[in-house]
Amino acid sequence: MNPDETRALLDPLVDRYERPAFVEDDPISAVWAFDDPADQEVIGLYAAVLAWGRRSVILAKLAELVDRMGGRPHRFVRDFGAARHDRLDGFKHRTFSSADAVALTASVRAVLEARGSLGALFASGLRDDADIGPAIQHFSDTLLTIVPEAGVRSKHLARPSTGSACKRLSMYARWMTRPGPVDLGLWPDVRPDQLVIPLDVHTGTQARRLGLLTRRYDDWRAVQELTDVCRALDPADPARYDFALFGLGAYGGDEIDA
């Protein structure tokens, strides 16, 4: 398909899926449950990290985590210390254990103390002429090392340098950067044109079926290839096509990742 034909196919799908109704059964619903941007930003990271598997299970686990945080994610993290570790005892989602929850929370707390917000950390890794790849790398590297004794496992914080597609952190950046009605637009220092497509099995399968992606593997090179195609369709907001590709492959099903 040529670009005009591709837009004619994908733009109506974006309009169909990028609506408030999309939020209800998606992990981003845990973010919209809060009014305070500080809470939204913090729980958004946990929601992205835990966005793996069946939607119903993800949402239940996020509700459990919020309850363990006393309904105040930002305050819980800012006040986190050894005395509060027991609040996370027994929490588990797939390979993300209670030890992972403690380690990530300790590291996020250190970032908030040092930078003021997760968005400030993310933006500090941006390069003007690049997509968000360097920012994801810097974001993950910092969380992995800012509290060395915390022991955050790299499997939960992907990095482009390893070849990972970094789907969850790309999705988190989309949530925090783009305006609504689905995304929240909380990070003014990140531009929508810098975002990349959050690539998973569903978006990759549909992109290849439509001839938008030639690379066989769902890795960072594939993310850049697909995003370049989407950027040619909409230079200001390539990530909007995530709604079309994800919707084609998975919306209405019960799996959001592989």
Instruction: Express each pLDDT in 189-223 by its tens digit.
Output: 999 999 999 999 889 999 999 999 999 999 999 99
CA distances from 242 to 63, 75, 245, 247, 251 (A): 25, 32, 5, 8, 12
Dihedral, CA atoms, 8, 190, 182, 237, nearest 10 degrees? 0
Q: Are 203 and 245 in contact (CB under 8 A)?
A: yes
Task: State the pLDDT at residue 2.
Answer: 86
| pTM (two decimals) | 0.94
Cα dihedral across residues 80, 83, 85, 89: positive or negative? negative
| Pair 43, 34: CB distance under 8 Å | yes
pLDDT (0 to 100) of residue 251: 58
DSSP reduced 3-state for 237: coil
Residue ranges of the chain with per-residue pLDDT less than 50: 252-258
* 167: β partners: none
Tokens of 152: 């955050």
Per-residue tokens: 169: 């952190």
